[in-house]
């Protein structure tokens, strides 16, 4: 049984729906972990993060457990608390975020630069957000550890400029992770923003360098990386909320791939899952 560790930050999510506020739990790497487990329930998928000992952290811990993810590697910090973010969506379903996460307990992850916990897994999933919340010295140490390890690395840049202290650091770390990644899951908009490239330049860069994976391009459908796949993808008939569109694609694609599906089949599974997710509000849709 393949063992996968998804590393990152789980937060309290507030969604404004008219005059009402819906409270939930989400986070990019957590969303991917949940959809990965749903797509491939026989996989062992653990979530690795830091939480506090407060009621909101307890709610997050229970949420992770209830979705079938392993929680044995979640560190509890006595004076910590989780990050919080709010989502507002336009009439076209496009999202805007407001964050309160500077003091999130997840920022204390790997502070001792001990990454030995990852040795218990066959694959590790990281995102640009997973890296952005870490101090730069920890990022560099984690990158050095990964370069000396045979563990399978899955990476999605998921670029959020405000989380990084400088564009230079974000470009340096993300470029290095693309070189190391065994499975690359970039989003075309993020890469265009981060590296000031056109869509064609991003597509060419990943087509020529990625070992395997998919370049996410929204309703246009994914571009296969590592092998040629030609397929027509259907767009969602009713886009309500694009939150977790990329995360759900990642989970569906990886779940199918790790279950023995072909690249072509995995791309379809990922796209169709994302297509379903954008027709609901919030990051995690009903099973």
User: How many C-alpha atoms does 278 have within 13 Å on its Cβ side?
Assistant: 24
Q: For this structure, is 79 an active site residue?
A: no
Give φ, ψ of 167 to 5 degrees.
-65, -35
Rounded CA separation 216/267 (Å): 10
Which one of the listed residues 46, 156, 241, 247 is annotated catalytic? 247
Q: Are 269 and 261 in contact (CB under 8 A)?
A: yes
Rounded CA separation 274/278 (Å): 6
Give the residue among 85, 84, 104 at the shortest CA–CA distance from 96: 85
CA distances from 198 to 50, 156, 161, 178, 205 (A): 37, 19, 18, 18, 11
Active site residue ranges: 247
């Amino acid at each position: 049984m393949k063992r996968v560790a998804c590393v990152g930050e789980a937060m309290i999510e507030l969604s404004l729906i008219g005059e009402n506020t819906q409270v939930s739990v989400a986070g990019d790497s957590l969303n991917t972990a949940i959809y990965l487990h749903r797509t491939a329930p026989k996989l062992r998928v653990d979530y690795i993060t830091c939480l506090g000992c407060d009621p909101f952290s307890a709610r997050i811990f229970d949420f992770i457990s209830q979705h079938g993810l392993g929680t044995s590697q979640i560190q509890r910090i006595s004076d910590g608390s989780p990050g919080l973010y709010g989502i507002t969506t336009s009439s076209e379903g496009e999202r805007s975020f407001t964050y309160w996460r500077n003091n999130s307990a997840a920022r204390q992850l790997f502070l001792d630069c001990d990454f030995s916990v990852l040795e218990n897994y066959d694959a590790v999933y990281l995102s640009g957000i997973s890296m952005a919340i870490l101090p730069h010295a920890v990022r560099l140490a984690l990158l050095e550890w990964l370069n000396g390890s045979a563990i399978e690395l899955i990476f999605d840049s998921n670029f959020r400029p405000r989380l990084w202290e400088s564009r230079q650091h974000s470009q340096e770390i993300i470029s290095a992770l693309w070189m190391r990644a065994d499975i690359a899951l970039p989003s075309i908009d993020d890469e265009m923003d981060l590296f000031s490239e056109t869509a064609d330049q991003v597509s060419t860069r990943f087509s020529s360098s990625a070992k395997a994976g998919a370049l996410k391009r929204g309703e246009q459908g994914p571009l296969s990386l590592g092998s040629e796949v030609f397929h027509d993808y259907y767009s969602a008939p009713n886009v309500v909320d694009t939150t977790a569109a990329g995360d759900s694609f990642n989970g569906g694609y990886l779940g199918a791939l790790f279950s023995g599906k072909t690249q072509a089949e995995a791309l379809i599974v990922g796209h169709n899952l994302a297509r379903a997710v954008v027709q609901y509000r919030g990051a995690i849709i009903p099973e």
